[in-house]
Amino acid sequence: MNKYVIHGKNKLCGDVFISGSKNASLPIMAASLLTSEKIILQNVPDLMDTITMKELLTILGKKISGGGSQVIIEEIDPSPYEAPYEIFRKMRASIAVMGPLIARKRKAKISFPGGCAIGPRPIDLHIHGMKSLSADLRIEHGYIWAQSKELIGKKINLLGNNGPSVGATENVMSAAVLAKGVTIIEGAACEPEVEDLAALLNEMGAKISGAGTTTIVIEGVEQLHGTEHKIIPDRIETGTFIAAAGITGGEIHLRNVNASHIEKPIEIFSLAGVEIEILSNDQIIARGRSIKPVEVDTRPYPFFPTDLQAQLMALLCISEGISIITEKIFPDRFMHAAELCRMGADIKVAGAIAVIKGVNDLSGASVMASDLRAGAGLVVGALCAHGQSEILRIYHLDRGYERLEEKLRNLGADIQRIPQ
């Protein structure tokens, strides 16, 4: 395992190119299972999660090629339908292959997924959606066995206890494109990643309308064909670099962004004292100023995302007052708070609420990433801390950030990856 060693207090300045969206790439790559024809994807980030998805698709009969941010997916064997635990334990998003497998191959054997330790993330809505489409499912020995002679379109409500499920919306949508008749998803997730998947599926010949709203209508078709598609920019990486500019008092020119996808984060970071200039929809500048306290709830898109909660918390640790963050998606997602306190932060957590009292400075410490976004928050904190910090378990960060230390070094950060 590796760790980051960071010496803080360097202002980050310069240009950074934002990679393609991890959360859009994974279900889009999985959707290649819906056709025997070639799928060419552009702007795919080189991450552990996309590497894992490539491994899974290879097991399921695909040949993966391409270079840089291009991924070419071709079919060499249409028969495999089993997604093993060895892959699923690495990445929760592996569940995204369930809908495509059931839709095209009419059967699937899917392990229950793994992922980050950020609290319960049940897959009951995925199962509910597949059963609603007339798939037969049973659970045995840690696997979901599914089969269907024919998927039948239906009205399905996917609203869960903590709001819409992005993964379930994507999975059901991917299955419904080859179902007989019309499927209506109510309580659908509105995230840009859902829209991007719908765009790919429509390019493949699907008939989907309403993606990006709470009601999605899918008219089933008999088959899909190949296509070429460019993945949207990663809005969470964008927000992470905004936080990095803010906490170091620097000025970062962010390229290859989609400003329309981060309107709420721009609003909240601006309230927190980060000056954000929108040059165009694909370019913004973030400038660090004096940090102000804010109160914010994490909620489903278009509100402030839970995946930026840790990075915002790190920024607010040096604010001039008291901030409150209420986590309404994953109430247990505050494991990074104790690690930030090891760096001198003043944070009190009570249930789903974190109260952050700003301090003058953070100090370097050895801290541990408990999940992907928690790790990003600790990196943001370390960038402004006096002295040396060590971020352990950075394999979490490798799952979701492409060449993070390289991008930070190019902006002036003193960061090294060394064996742990």
Question: Domains of the chain, with CATH numbers?
Answer: 2-19+233-419 (3.65.10.10), 22-230 (3.65.10.10)
Q: Taking a C-beta distance cutoff of 8 angstroms, is the pair 394, 2 a contact?
A: yes
More confident residue, 143 or 197: 197
Specify the pLDDT at position 264.
98
- Report the b/e string of 63-97 with b at 16+ CB within 10 A: ebeeeebebbbbbeeeebbebebebbebbbbbbbb
Specify the pLDDT at position 161.
83
Q: Tell me: the pLDDT tens digits for 70-122?
A: 999 999 999 999 988 888 888 878 899 999 999 999 999 998 765 444 444 56
**Which pTM does this prediction carry?**
0.96
Of 48, 45, 58, 195, give the one whose Cα is nearest residue 115.
48
Span 281-300, average pLDDT: 97
Which range (2-16, 90-104, 284-298) has the least confidence?
90-104
Specify the pLDDT at position 116.
46
98: amino acid identity, one letter: M
Specify the pLDDT at position 120.
45
Span 362-375, average pLDDT: 97
Q: Among this protein's residues, is 13 annotated catalytic?
A: no
Span 257-271, average pLDDT: 98
Asked whether residue 207 carries a pLDDT value surpassing 50, the answer given is: yes
Specify the pLDDT at position 118.
46
Specify the pLDDT at position 111.
86
- Strand order through the sheet with 13-17: 13-17, 251-255, 283-287, 275-280
Specify the pLDDT at position 83.
87
Span 263-276, average pLDDT: 98
HEC secondary structure over 68-85: CCCEEEEECCCCCCEECH
Specify the pLDDT at position 114.
53
Percentage of residues in the chain having pLDDT higher than 70:
98
When pLDDT is cut at 50, 70 and 90, the band that residue 139 belongs to is confident
Specify the pLDDT at position 115.
46
Q: Which residue among the candidates 116, 190, 317, 384 is catalytic per the annotation?
A: 116
